[in-house]
């Protein structure tokens, strides 16, 4: 597998995945065989910090002394090793990846189990639609799937290549009140910050990029005879996608206390099944 774009040879463009290709300086390394992926925000350190400062919330949601094992396949995805069986492809960010949850409690796994299909979860924590397009372009033609679920991410997230093989994600929450970038994006700070301020903050640019990526992923699905099912978990989507509707009382938290929890994922699975069942 390529370690990144080299000599601008885009015929070997690294569509495959983020985690096994990223620069170690960014705090992300190969995760194959890891118990916890610090890159997704649910590390042992995060848990211990929450145990100290937010123990009551961990107790409320049943996460005290709960272990979570993250297993990824040979390409770094939270999925079984790819095979020729029919499955469902899922594209998204950490909400779809299932940060803070055992894989059995994530809505992609639950929906796949319901339909007795393989779960091809190609979601990348912290990513946006740029990444979803990159992953879709490479993997949809290679995997046996009749349905692709695109769970839209925050519109301001962009994927940027700097010095060949570093990918920077630029979500809005990576800017603190002082205008500094979150430590996750400290590498090449000046380059990233200038790009962010000039382009990503402008809502019109976000809308165009959002729509452009969806149009591109739609075409990939059409070319490969797949149904594209689009939903989102964020309010900003300009009416382009359907928002997953989950009753407030089921909006619990995952172990990291940031992402949605077990009850939300079960409710989201039921909503997705009912909303798109004509495509199954």
Residue 78 — φ and ψ, nearest 5°? -80, 75
Three-state helix/strand/coil letters over 40-106: HCCCHHHHHHHHHHCHHHHHHHCCCCCCCCCCCCCCCCCCCCCCCCCEEEEECCHHHHCCCCCHHHC
Please write the tens of the pLDDT for every residue from 129-177: 988 998 898 899 999 999 999 999 888 888 776 655 555 565 544 443 3
Residue 95 — φ and ψ, nearest 5°? -65, -35
Residues with Cβ within 8 Å of residue 56, at least 6 apart in sequence: none
What percentage of the chain has pLDDT greater than the value 90?
46
Q: Please report which confidence band the pLDDT of residue 260 belongs to, taking 50, 70 and 90 as the band edges.
A: very high
Which residue did the predictor score with more confidence, 30 or 238? 238
Which residue is listed with tokens 């925000």? 41
CATH 3.30.420.590 fits 81-279, yes or no: no
Residue 192 — φ and ψ, nearest 5°? -65, -45
Which residue is listed with tokens 């996608």? 241
Give me the residue spans of the domains in the chain: 81-279
What percentage of the chain has pLDDT greater than the value 70?
72
């Amino acid at each position: 597998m390529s370690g990144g774009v080299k000599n601008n040879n885009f015929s070997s463009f690294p569509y495959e995945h983020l985690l096994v290709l990223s620069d170690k300086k960014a705090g992300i390394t190969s995760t194959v065989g890891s118990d916890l992926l610090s890159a997704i925000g649910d590390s042992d350190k995060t848990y211990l910090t929450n145990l100290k400062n937010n123990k009551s919330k961990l107790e409320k949601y049943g996460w005290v002394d709960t272990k979570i094992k993250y297993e990824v396949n040979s390409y770094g995805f939270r999925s079984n090793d790819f095979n020729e069986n029919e499955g469902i492809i899922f594209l998204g960010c950490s909400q779809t990846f299932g940060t803070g949850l055992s894989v059995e409690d994530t809505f992609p796994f639950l929906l796949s189990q319901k339909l007795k299909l393989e779960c091809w979860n190609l979601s990348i924590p912290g990513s946006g639609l740029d990444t979803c397009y990159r992953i879709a372009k490479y993997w949809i033609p290679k995997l046996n799937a009749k349905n692709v679920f695109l769970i839209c991410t925050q519109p301001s997230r962009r994927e940027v290549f700097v010095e060949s093989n570093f990918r920077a994600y630029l979500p809005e929450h990576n800017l603190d009140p002082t205008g500094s970038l979150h430590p996750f994006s400290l590498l090449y700070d000046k380059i990233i910050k200038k790009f962010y301020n000039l382009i990503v903050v402008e809502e019109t640019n976000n809308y165009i990029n959002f729509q452009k990526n969806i149009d591109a992923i739609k075409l990939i699905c059409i070319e490969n005879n797949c149904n594209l099912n689009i939903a989102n978990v964020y309010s900003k989507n300009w009416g382009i996608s359907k928002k997953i509707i989950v009753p407030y009382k089921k909006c619990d938290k995952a172990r990291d206390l940031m992402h949605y929890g077990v009850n939300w994922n079960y409710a989201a699975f039921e909503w997705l099944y009912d909303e798109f069942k004509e495509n199954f």
